[in-house]
């Protein structure tokens, strides 16, 4: 393990995220922790949407050992895309990123906490756990997914690509952001009342279990044909065209209390593709989301829910209007395709943590199974 001290971190805060209390969360919970751990930091408060993206695009990254965001997933999406906008993106994307949950949608923070084998935590307890992990400064790899839109724009995504029910709930519930993470449950109940079917075509490249992962540093989308070209014969074309939702997710959690992919790891090189076909009843759909809190939705025996592990996918909506989200942010509606790039990003504190062996974690963690140290891990 490489030790570099002192590390200098830039902490980007979105004061509008969540209940609008991200700054108070910093002064109330994180500031003291960083001082105690002698971690030098600079606080940057974003003034508008895409402020962080512009800042990161131009920043002198040699000044920083890590970029940390205190917000929801949306601000991290800005930071990752700001890094990938740079001419030196190959180097830039290797800067460790950290996440402190301060938004209403804190899926990556919940996932990172889960990978550390700590028992589930919410709200301020989750923030404290992520703060501890940040102070420890261990870094592990994180998969990124490149997403192509009809306008030829390419985005980088660390969490999800969603269409239909999940995307609608995410965006429609933003107006309840002030209630925090429970906005998704409220949004789910509202959307259930006006359940819709979305027509479209879905195809994907399945993962063969024997395939070995080739880790690549350069995100060339070798698996994707042009969006106007048909998908290759090696792809699976889904027969159904009537969906309630399509969700591609590459972390364990879709929200603090939605454990969507029980087996997911930050760098498993997989897109976990879920879709729900039309014909599902409202109670059955609600049951799936309620079961997801404990990761039990796949055991519900719901014939409308399909789960596949894939490397790439394409979605072509036929329904003329609707919502597509990437990491919870709205993107242009239309054909979209995506492929995974295993482990090209570095994320602060994930697999390498051994919470059960660390006195700092005794109060918040259970024993958990033993873990093996990964090669290539580094301290900040
Ligand atoms: P939440 O989880 O509450 O949705 P996010 O971090 O996802 O919090 O941020 C919500 C949105 O706010 C994102 O689209 C992000 O790009 C945007 N944003 C970032 N900084 C600001 C700011 N200073 N003012 C307004 N919006 C911002
Ligand atoms: Mg958000």
Over residues 117-168, the pLDDT tens digits come to: 999 999 999 999 999 999 988 888 999 999 999 999 999 999 999 999 999 9
C-alpha 105 to ligand 2 mean position (Å): 5
Residue of 18, 19, 52, 71 best suited for mutating to test ligand 1, as the one with most atoms within 8 Å of CB: 71
Cα-to-centroid distance, 198 and ligand 1 (Å): 28
**Do 9-142+345-378 and 146-343 agree at the fold level?**
no
> In ligand 1, which atom is closest to the CA atom of 78?
16
Which of 104-108, 162-166, 359-363 comes out lowest in average pLDDT?
Answer: 359-363
Give the residue whose CA is nearest to atom 6 of ligand 1.
72
Kindly report the protein residue whose alpha carbon is nearest to atom 13 of ligand 1.
Answer: 74
What is the band of 376 on the pLDDT scale with cuts at 50, 70, 90?
Answer: very low
The model's pLDDT over 59-86, given as tens digits with 9 standing for 90+, comes to: 999 999 999 999 999 999 999 999 999 9
- Which atom of ligand 1 lies at the shortest distance from residue 106's CA? 2
pLDDT at residue 367 tops 90: no
Which residues are catalytically annotated?
A: 73
For ligand 1, say whether the CB of 103 is within 6 Å of any of its atoms: yes
Least confident of 206-220, 296-310, 324-338: 206-220
């090189």: which residue's tokens? 269
Considering only CA atoms, which residue is closest to atom 25 of ligand 1?
48
User: Residues 6 or more apart from 238 whose CB is under 8 A from it?
Assistant: 201, 202, 203, 204, 275, 306
Ligand 1 centre to CA of 230 (Å) is 36
Q: Cα–Cα distance between 236 and 203 in angstroms, integer? A: 6
14 lines ligand 1 (CB under 6 A): yes
CATH of 146-343, one of 2.170.150.70, 2.60.200.40, 3.40.50.2300, 2.40.50.140: 2.60.200.40
The alpha carbon of 365 and the centre of ligand 2 are apart by a number of angstroms equal to 28
For every residue of 43-80, DSSP letters joined together read: EEE--STTHHHHHHHH--GGG-SEEEEEE-HHHHHHHH
- The finding on whether 329 has its CB within 6 A of some atom of ligand 1 is yes
Q: What angle do CA 187, 150, 336 make, to 5 degrees?
A: 50
Report how far ligand 2's centroid is from the alpha carbon of 301 (Å).
31
| Residue among 348, 324, 351, 349 nearest 338 (CA) | 324
- Please tell me if the CB atom of residue 183 comes closer than 6 angstroms to any atom of ligand 1: no
Q: Which of 94-98, 164-168, 210-214, 319-323 has the lowest mean pLDDT?
A: 210-214
**Which ligand is located closest to the Cα atom of residue 18?**
1
Domain ranges of the chain: 9-142+345-378, 146-343
Q: Can you give the pLDDT at residue 308?
A: 98
Task: Tell which one of 74, 101, 177 to mutate to probe ligand 1, the residue whose CB is within 8 A of the most ligand atoms.
Answer: 74
CATH of domain 9-142+345-378: 3.40.50.10330
Within a 10 A sphere around the Cβ of 281, how many other Cβ atoms? 11
Tell me how far the alpha carbon of residue 17 lies from the centroid of ligand 1, in angstroms.
Answer: 5
Burial tier of 222 (Cβ tally within 10 Å: 0-12, 13-18, 19+): exposed
Question: Which residue's CA lies nearest to atom 22 of ligand 1?
Answer: 48
Reported as a single tens digit per residue, the pLDDT across 184-210 is 999 999 999 999 999 999 999 999 865
Beta strands in the chain (DSSP E): 9-13, 41-45, 66-71, 97-101, 138-149, 154-157, 160-164, 198-206, 236-237, 242-249, 253-255, 258-259, 271-277, 305-317, 324-326, 329-331, 336-348, 378-379
Structure tokens at 245: 């939702």
* DSSP code string of 124-147: HHHHHHHHHHHHHTEEEEEEEEEE
Q: Which residues lie below 8 Å from residue 348, measured CB to CB, with a gap of 6+? A: 66, 68, 96, 97, 98, 99, 112, 133, 134, 137, 138, 139, 380
- Protein residue with its CA nearest to atom 17 in ligand 1: 49
Ligand 1 centroid from CA 75, angstroms: 6
Q: Which residue has the higher pLDDT, 349 or 60?
A: 60
The 3 state secondary structure assigned to 199-231 is EEEEEEEECCCCCCCCCCCCCCCCCCCCCCCCC
d(CA 160, CA 368): 27
Tell which atom from ligand 1 comes closest to the C-alpha of 71. Answer: 6
Q: Whose CA is nearest to atom 7 of ligand 1?
A: 74
pLDDT > 90 fraction of the chain, expressed in percent and rounded:
81
User: What is the pTM (predicted TM-score) of this model?
Assistant: 0.90
Tell which one of 11, 17, 53, 155 to mutate to probe ligand 1, the residue whose CB is within 8 A of the most ligand atoms. 17
Nearest of 82, 93, 103 to residue 19 by alpha carbon:
103
Kindly state the tokens that stand for 325: 């989200």
């Amino acid at each position: 393990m490489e030790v570099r001290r002192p590390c200098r971190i830039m902490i980007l805060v979105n004061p509008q995220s969540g209940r609008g209390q991200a700054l108070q969360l910093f002064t109330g919970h994180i500031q003291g922790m960083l001082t105690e751990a002698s971690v030098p930091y600079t606080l940057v408060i974003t003034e508008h949407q895409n402020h962080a993206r512009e800042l990161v695009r131009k920043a002198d990254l040699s000044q920083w050992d890590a970029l940390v965001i205190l917000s929801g997933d949306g601000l991290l999406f800005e930071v990752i895309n700001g890094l990938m906008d740079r001419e030196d993106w190959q180097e830039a994307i290797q800067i460790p990123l950290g996440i402190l949950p301060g938004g209403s949608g804190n899926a990556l923070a919940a996932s990172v906490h889960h990978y550390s084998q700590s028992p589930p935590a919410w709200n301020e307890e989750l923030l404290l756990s992520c703060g501890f992990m940040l102070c420890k400064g261990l870094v592990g790899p994180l998969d990124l997914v490149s997403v192509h839109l009809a306008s030829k724009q390419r985005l980088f995504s660390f969490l999800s690509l969603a269409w239909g029910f999940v995307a609608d709930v995410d965006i429609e519930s933003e107006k309840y952001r002030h209630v925090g993470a429970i906005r998704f449950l409220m949004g789910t109940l509202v959307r259930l009342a006006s359940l819709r079917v979305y027509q479209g075509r879905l195809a994907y490249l399945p993962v063969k279990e024997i395939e070995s992962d080739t880790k690549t540093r350069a995100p060339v989308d070798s698996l994707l044909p042009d969006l106007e070209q048909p998908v290759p014969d090696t792809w699976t074309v889904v027969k159904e065209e009537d969906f309630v939702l399509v969700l591609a997710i590459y972390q364990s959690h879709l929200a603090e209390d939605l454990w969507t992919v029980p087996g997911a790891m930050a760098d498993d090189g997989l897109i976990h593709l879920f879709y729900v076909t039309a014909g599902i009843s409202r109670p059955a759909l609600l049951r799936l989301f309620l079961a997801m809190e404990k990761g039990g939705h796949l055991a519900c025996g719901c014939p409308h829910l399909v789960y596949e592990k894939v490397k790439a996918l394409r979605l072509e909506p036929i329904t003329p209007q609707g919502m597509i989200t990437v990491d919870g942010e709205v993107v242009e509606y239309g054909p979209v395709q995506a492929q995974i790039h295993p482990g090209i990003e570095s994320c602060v504190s994930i697999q390498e943590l051994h919470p059960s062996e660390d006195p700092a974690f005794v109060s918040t963690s259970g024993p958990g199974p033993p873990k093996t140290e990964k090669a290539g891990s580094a301290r900040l």
